[in-house]
Amino acid sequence: MDASVRLRIHALPAGLREPLEMAEMLVHDLARGVVEGTASPRQLEEARDLFGQILEYARAYLRDEVERELFAFPRTTRPAVPAAH
């Protein structure tokens, strides 16, 4: 993952960031295991599917966060006075 993706991952809550990071490490370890002959391609595929599912949750979370920020109304510190026409 590139640096911008890493920055966005750190913006995730721990309950989502930690499983994502663990699934990523698992995929890397199993990929190395497949090359070394200590893991099966099926195990790697299952880990990649799990990583993809967690990544989709993370994308949805970040997308919701951006939309909340874009469409949030600014808070007023004093009551608004209706304008006379």
Task: From first to last of the 85 residues of the chain, give the pLDDT tens digit.
Answer: 556 666 677 778 888 889 988 999 999 999 999 999 999 999 999 999 999 999 898 888 888 877 776 565 555 566 666 666 5
- From residue 52, how far is each of 23, 48, 55 by CA, in Å? 9, 6, 5
Whole-model pTM: value is 0.67
Distances (CA, A) of 23 to 17, 66, 69, 79, 82: 10, 24, 29, 49, 54
pLDDT score, position 77: 61
Judge residue 31's burial from the number of C-beta atoms within 10 Å of its C-beta, 0-12 exposed, 13-18 middle, 19 or more buried: middle
Query: Can you give the pLDDT at residue 62?
Result: 81
